Amino acid sequence: MFQAKNKIRAKLQEGKIVVGSVMYTWSPIVMELAGLAELDFMRVDNEHAWRQDSSAEHLIRAGHLAGITPIMRIDRENPYLIRKALEIGAGAVLVPDVHDAKEVEGIVKASKFPPLGTRGYSGQNWSGGWGANAGKKWIEWSHTEPMVGVMIENTSAVKNIESIVRVDGLDFVLFGPADYAMSLGLGAPDKNHPDVQDAIKKTIAAAQKQNVAIMLGVGKNLDEIKKYMDMGINMLELGSDISVLKGVWHNLRNNILETA
């Protein structure tokens, strides 16, 4: 289990689409169910769902046991959270709301040991096998398997997108249409606004030039999913655990009332 191949990275290198979801409930059971549903990844939200305790370790263990890659989204401007997420076994870290290449360089450095970065060394953690699988091989694995991603969700980030995706060590970007719409001054999320759609296209074009993967949250409409796949999105995020559950309950309730 320790130091396994990153399934997301492997599938992307093969030119395949990866499909996952988002977790706000922080439930190991939901993580296991996502693995049983054969999703490729689960993005655990630690930006808007506040957790900085042992529950993160339980989630990541559940993910590895279920064969699903856990992505940990953390708060920006805290490089120590990157190290902690990687030490407990996150298959990828994701930092929100970056604005320029300098920020991304700092994020990558925080995820790598010297001389590639500034990450402090200790193998006494889950990822390092509590010291049993640490040392040189673990350092090499840490530089090549866990992935580093950032979120593009501001007009300044799209303005600097060409230099952002050129940062060595950046593996993927997640475009955030809701916050991007807010940064445009639209006053509310509007994924289909022409300016938001144009920014998505610019992000995809820039990322593809540098072989950087592109993630986007999509709805359940198959036409919309196909549209974004045709545009070049290769990491599809299928809603969140709470939105999917709420949607199923709501639809079942309405169907029952219509037939009553």
Domains of the chain: 7-259 (3.20.20.60)
Mean pLDDT, the chain, rounded, equals 93
Q: What is the mean pLDDT of residues 53-76?
A: 90
* pLDDT band of 4, cuts 50, 70, 90: confident
pLDDT given for residue 51 in this prediction? 73
Between 78 and 202, residue with greater pLDDT: 202
Per-residue confidence (pLDDT) for residue 239, from 0 to 100: 87
Q: Stretch 65-78: mean pLDDT, rounded?
A: 90
Claim: this prediction has a pTM higher than 0.75? yes
Cα first-last separation, the chain = 51
Average pLDDT estimate for 188-199: 96
Q: What residues are paired with 148 via a beta bridge?
A: 93
- The residues facing 70 across adjacent strands are 42
Task: State whether the Cα torsion 236-240-243-244 is positive or negative.
Answer: positive
Q: Which pLDDT belongs to residue 50?
A: 67
Are the C-beta atoms of residues 66 and 32 closer than 8 Å to each other? yes
Phi, psi of 137 (to 5 degrees): -65, -35
**Residues 120-156: tens digit of each pLDDT:** 999 999 999 899 989 999 999 999 999 999 999 999 9
